Structure 1
Amino acid sequence: MQRLALFDLDNTLVDRSEAFRRWAVEFCADRELPDDALAWLIATDQDGAVPRDWFFGEVTERFGLAASVDEAWRQYRHRMPELVSCPQEVRASLRLLRDEGWTVAIVTNGQADNQLGKIRRTGLDQCVDAWAVSGELGIRKPAREIFEAAARGCGLDLRGGGWAIGDSPVHDVEGGRAAGLATLWVSRGKDWPTELTPPDRTVTDVVAAVQVLRGEDSGL
């Protein structure tokens, strides 16, 4: 198997959940929304699982925003890259992988301005060889084609194998498996859905995932 590692972005390499919470706090304060608005926003967001156009449609209707759905969504995409964070140890782990001969890429769903903003503002653009963003390509995980695009961006072919690493059982694990990759699930403390075929390996965070790839985990 070739040393190719395809990482998810949100809630794998970067803390999207905390960034969203910070955005929601600002959103509520700026508009002087009622006390229950923050909890509603976080619940309705479903950890980023719902389409953003639907989400902002719900938001504008519930709170009677003057801005259109498209404008509210645009403002969100401008702000989120400023709020997202990537721990130094995550960037260091990716650099170490590359120093040891691994090729590393990001495979992410989302609008190009939002996702590329996150990649560049966190310095991840300096830690990977390529990325594939659904908003640029018109292809979304779990489709095999977006994993293929990431591999091509690295000058490689999925026929050589590799790993898909991420927190989504469907987008990252099932998608990666269908693309012919070994799978590494970043659980974030959650239980694996019993109705799905388990990943090849499970870890709690992306730093531990890199340790598995490097063969440092005692169970490898």
Structure 2
Amino acid sequence: MQRLALFDLDNTLVDRSEAFRRWAVEFCADHGLSEEALAWLITTDQNGSVPRDWFFGEVTDRFGLAPGDTMWGQYRRRMPELVTCPEEVLGALTLLRDDGWTVAIVTNGQADNQLGKIRRTGLDRCVDAWAISGQVGIRKPAREIFEVAARGCGLDLRGGGWAIGDSPVLDVEGGRAAGLATLWVSRGKDWPATLAPPDRTVTDVLAAVQVLRDEDTGR
């Protein structure tokens, strides 16, 4: 198997949930909304799994604010400023590449928002390529977006590799369908009983990188 690692971005490499919570706090403060409204925003967001146009349509309807597309644009500008990637994660990716691995990011989302996160956190200096659904017109779990990421690294999925992420469907099921070994970042959650399990499970991305390094040395 070739040394190819395709990482998810949100809630795998970066803490998207905390960034959204901070955005929601600011949003409520700016519009004079209550703690109940904050809880509603976080619940309705569903960890970013729902389409943003739908989400901001719901926000508009509930609070009677500016049109959803205006809020969506403000959100896309602000989220990259709020998201963080720990130095330990950047360092782990650098070590992985030093070991001879090729590393890419495969993420769903708008190009400006996701690319802003990649660049502002310094991830652009720690990976070889990225495939963003809003940029390439393909969304996970489709095999083709994993192919785009591999080609961006000068590789082919026929050589195998690993898909790493926190979504059982988008990252694990999608990676498996693309012919990749799968590494689920559980973040303390239980695996859905209705799905075939991943090849490996870890609690966070640092442990995921260690699995790859150990697999490479046969430990």
TM-score, structure 2 length as denominator?
A: 0.98
- Residues 100-155 of structure 1: per-residue CA shift (max 9 Å, x gap): 00000000000000000000000000000000000000000000000000000000
Sequence identity (%): 84
Q: Name the structure 1 match of 2:102.
A: 103
| Aligned mates of 1:19, 1:55 — CA distance in 2 | 16
Q: Name the structure 2 match of 1:112.
A: 111
Q: Which amino acid aligns with 2:192?
A: P
Q: Name the structure 1 match of 2:152.
A: 153
Give secondary structure in 2 for the equivalent of 1:107.
strand
Q: Name the structure 2 match of 1:68.
A: 67
Deviation of 1:69 (Å): 1.1
Deviating above 4 A after TM superposition, structure 1's stretches of 4 or more consecutive aligned residues are none
Q: Name the structure 1 match of 2:18.
A: 18
Deviation of 1:14 (Å): 0.1
Deviation of 1:216 (Å): 7.1
Q: Name the structure 2 match of 1:172.
A: 171
| Aligned mates of 2:119, 2:2 — CA distance in 1 | 27
Deviation of 1:34 (Å): 2.3
TM-score, structure 1 length as denominator?
A: 0.97
Give secondary structure in 1 for the equivalent of 2:33.
coil
Give secondary structure in 1 for the equivalent of 2:115.
helix
Q: Which amino acid aligns with 1:167?
A: D
Q: Work out the number of aligned pairs and report it.
A: 219
| Aligned mates of 1:36, 1:129 — CA distance in 2 | 43
Give secondary structure in 2 for the equivalent of 1:116.
helix
Matches within 5 A, 1:31-50: 31-50=31-50
Q: Which amino acid aligns with 1:136?
A: Q
Q: Which amino acid aligns with 1:100?
A: D
| Aligned mates of 1:34, 1:91 — CA distance in 2 | 37
| Aligned mates of 1:87, 1:41 — CA distance in 2 | 26
Q: Name the structure 2 match of 1:9.
A: 9
Q: Name the structure 1 match of 2:211.
A: 212
Q: Which runs of 5+ in 2 are unaligned?
A: none
Q: Which amino acid aligns with 2:85?
A: C
Q: Which amino acid aligns with 1:16?
A: R
Q: Relative to 1, partners in 2 of residues 1:99 and 1:8: Cα closer, same or farther, differing over 3 Å?
A: same
Deviation of 1:35 (Å): 2.8
